Amino acid sequence: MPTAPAAPVQVISLIGGECSGKSTLATELAATLDGVFVVEQLRLFVDEHGRTPTEQEQAGILRAQVAAEAFAEQTARSAGKSWVIGDPAALMTAVYSIAYFEDRSLLDEAVEHQSSYALTIWCDIDLPWQADGDQRDGPHERERVHRVIADVVASEQLEVLKVRGAVAERVDQVVAALGPV
């Protein structure tokens, strides 16, 4: 008897400024949905190089995030899992390029890739800001990046689920948006 084809793997991506709860929510969603977690390539870059990327390095980081998602999709498929949780979406690299370098050159590529996601979650900045070594610039930058995200979401007419509140509340909001899983 032939076996039924496996359900397609779906990607959920997260966007939000620094210290908006993306990583915590992504980890919880991966556990709740039995999905595969995609680590942030920008975080890996900063850890490896001990500095933030230059404008010229941004495109490579965006493409590394896309490649990490593709690898996670293959991993999920092989493991019989249905979900990949991207922390964050590749779009965040384009957002950071706009915020820090006034460079919109990565936006079209990022938005095109964004359309492949089953759901994009925008984490609000209602959580207290916390320092994280070289990874975070401060609450003023979080607010500025949040405004850039708002501009990108509006100008590109991106469909997002904006979540707020404690982690458990955010998980519940996402699960409710996904419907039966």
pLDDT value of residue 154? 97
Higher pLDDT, 4 or 128: 128
161 sits in the region (left: phi over 0; alpha: psi -120 to 50; else beta) called beta
Query: Cα-flanking dihedrals φ and ψ of residue 130, to 5°?
Result: -135, 140
pLDDT tens figures, 52-92: 899 999 999 999 999 999 999 999 999 999 999 999 999 99
Does the pTM of the predicted model rise above 0.85? yes
Distance CA 13, CA 122 (A): 9
pLDDT value of residue 15? 97
Higher pLDDT, 101 or 5: 101
Where residue 181 falls among pLDDT bands split at 50, 70, 90? low
- Examine the pLDDT at 44 and tell me if it is beyond 80: yes
pLDDT tens figures, 103-162: 999 999 999 999 999 999 999 998 877 766 555 565 678 899 999 999 999 999 999 999
pLDDT value of residue 4? 46
Distance CA 26, CA 14 (A): 7
Q: What is the pairing mode between strands 10-15 and 161-163?
A: unpaired
